[in-house]
Structure 1
Amino acid sequence: MAEFISASIDKIHMGERLRPIDQGYVEAIAASFEERGQISPIMIRSTPAQNKGKTPYTLIAGGYRLSAARLLGWAEIDAIVVAADQVEAQLLEISENLYRNELNPLDRAIFVMKYRELWEEKHGKIDKNRNLKNSKGHDDPSVFASGKDLAKEVQERLGFGPETYKRATRIGLNLQPAMRQAVRGTEAETNQALLLKFAKLTPDMQVKAAAALKESGDPQSVLALTKPPKPEKTERDPETEALAALRKAWGQASQATRNQFLEEIGLSSFQEAA
């Protein structure tokens, strides 16, 4: 059961968030608060023992709104108190952020993968090789027996289409921590196509690419460096190619065809003499 309250800001513990706080966005929300006031309440849960009782509430969702209120020096903020344990609180945080559509492609992938971790915590690890012996060979083997349940739940609960879910999962699963950190603040952070290209690199290549990206800040040029060099083109020699084609044709021809060819080029007498 949820309860709407006006909560003392200094009684709310923010904790670690799944994405870094953008100070520019905080200032934009603060400006909106000054003009129109707070429209949407934040979401918190009761944690009486947090910080030895000094912060009896812990933030679930609304980190930017809480930061904006603190920036303005507000003493209180509108909040909804919900009954939730730590895992369910994180699921609620993910759900609200995705529903509000405030996430860039990188953060969306991170949130989806965090949702996966929490789901596995409740339902068990997803094993891609599980029950393969019992598979009947159709297009829906048990490779994703539990994974498909997760995909369906994410798509239904978070409003994702299957393609969005697949791409977010591909980025979240394959993008290494060093690469995630390196793309922050670059074009790639908001460009799903670039993130997918980085995610295709091997872990070792991602570490090297991350170091290069920190130096240059240009994802496009870093990706260009990861491509293998193109083989040098050798000049075509028509005479050599023609000779090779003739040799191949001669090797594939029957004896009768060979004799006919020799006769056509005037070498039949030579053949008889031989």
Structure 2
Amino acid sequence: MLVPISEIKINAGRREADPEGVQELVDSISKVGLLNPITIDREHTLIAGLHRLEAAKLLCWTEIECNVSSLEGLLAELAEVDENVVRKGLSAVEYSDLLLRRKEIYEALHPETKHGGDRKSEKIKSAKCTFDSEKSFVDDTAEKLGVDPSTIRRQIQTAKNLTSEAKDIIRDTGTKITKKDALKLSRLGPEQQKDAASQLAAGEIKSMGEYHPAPAEPEEPPPPEPESPPAAPTVPSVPYSLGDKHYASIEESIADLKNPNKDCSYNPDTLLADIDGFVDTFHKNFAWYSDPFCTVVFPDISPVQFDFVRQRFATISSAMEDLLNLMERNMNK
């Protein structure tokens, strides 16, 4: 539908259009017309097509053809972020900040993916049922952008750890900085970030590889070595058998239990195999929280938040103890 350009609203904080890109569209539209309508929501807020809209303004159009989307709120903002994140010419800081905002929106829309979710694209299985959880933000974004998940994790780390002061120095001076250098900069302390960003902006150094921070006076003691991740629990010998069949892994034994043509009622051996598989999956997922991607935020956790985590962990051990007590009470009845 045709919508008056004066009625189209642009969200505050949206990345400004690239003048060169707008001029290219002006030349194209003046020759062949607008081939792809812009996209707005029902309140006439722009979702996609800022460069096309700005080109239409330069051409003195009063109306522009629009697709009116039913997307609203966070879904509309997610579509807007996705359009911007694939654009060429984004600076390293703009790119990482957009991905961080995408993470916030995605996890607000899919809260079940927070704190890990399906972070390794694994299917969570049991002997009774099977379901696929929603993809984690990292996996979903990496798939859409065609990059490795580790690339997305590094960009999120950059956006979270870069101080606003360092971002402003880079952004205000138009300093060109690579994603690799932005990540290195984000790993410095706040004062060193300011110092390094200022040197980059002034052209005193061309990359973070040339940056050598001045030693603090008096020199502070080196930070403690990071704690090693918890050792994997010792696995006892398996006190159950699933008949004459031999399985290379717990996953294969659980798959056999899911055979729709066999009796799936529990016996002691199949119950133990199911519990064994659950514990194995739990340890694989729990190991994530010792990854540097998580431990980097440990210093920022408040005592209140730590107490909350302690209480949540206590519910796990309590539930397991309750199940063991129930099992013991009913043994040899």
The TM-score, its normalising length taken from structure 2, stands at: 0.51
Three-state SS of the structure 1 residue aligned to 2:67 is: strand
Measured in 1, the distance between the counterparts of 2:93 and 2:50 equals: 18
More displaced stretch, 151-160 vs 107-116: 151-160
Q: What SS does the corresponding residue of 1:220 show, helix, strand or coil? A: coil
Once the two structures are superposed, residues 98-132 of structure 1 have per-residue CA deviations (whole angstroms, 9 ceiling, x without a partner) of 3455644433212110011112333459458x9xx
The Cα of 1:67 is off from its aligned counterpart by: 1.4
1:11 aligns with 2:10: no
Tell me, which stretches of 5 or more residues in structure 2 are unaligned?
123-132, 216-333
Q: What is the alpha-carbon distance in structure 1 between the residues aligned to residue 23 and residue 155 of structure 2? A: 29
Distance 2:51 2:185 in 1: 29
Structure showing greater radius of gyration is: 1
Q: Tell me the equivalent position of 1:61.
A: 48
How high is the TM-score relative to the length of structure 1?
Answer: 0.61
Alignment RMSD (CA, Å) = 3.2
Q: Which has the higher contact order (CA 8 A, sep 6+)?
A: 1
CA separation of 1:100 and 1:212: change in aligned 2, threshold 3 A? closer
Q: CA deviation at 1:59?
A: 0.4
**1:117 maps to which residue?**
104
Counterpart amino acid of 1:187?
K
Structure with the bigger percentage of helix: 1
Q: Kindly state the Cα deviation for residue 30 of structure 1 after the two structures are TM-superposed.
A: 2.0
- Shift of residue 81 of structure 1? 0.8
The total of aligned residue pairs comes to 198
| SS, match of residue 20 in structure 1 | coil
Residue 183 (structure 2) pairs with residue 187 (structure 1): no
Deviation at 1:166?
2.7
User: 3-state SS of the aligned residue for 1:80?
Assistant: strand
In the aligned structure 2, how far is the partner of 1:104 from the partner of 1:40? 26
Measured after TM superposition, the shift of residue 149 of structure 1 is 1.7
Match of 1:234 in 2: none
Q: 2:159 aligns with which of 166, 169, 172?
A: 172
Mapped contact 1:171–1:199 kept (Cα < 8 A):
yes
- Give, as a single letter, the amino acid of the residue that structure 2 aligns with 1:220: K
Moved more, 94-103 or 171-180: 94-103
- 1:14–1:99 Cα change, 3 Å: same
The question of whether the paired residues in 1 share the 8 Å contact of 2:110 and 2:134 is answered with no
- What 5-or-longer segments of structure 1 have no aligned partner? 48-56, 131-139, 141-145, 230-274
Partner AA of 1:96 in structure 2: E
Name the structure 2 match of 1:268. Answer: none
CA shift in 2, pair 1:118/1:206, >3 Å: same
What CA distance in whole angstroms lies between the structure 2 residues aligned with 1:167 and 1:159? Answer: 15
Equivalent residues of 2:199, 2:205 under 8 A apart = no
Q: Secondary structure at the match of 1:187?
A: coil
Secondary structure at the aligned position of 2:45 is classed as strand
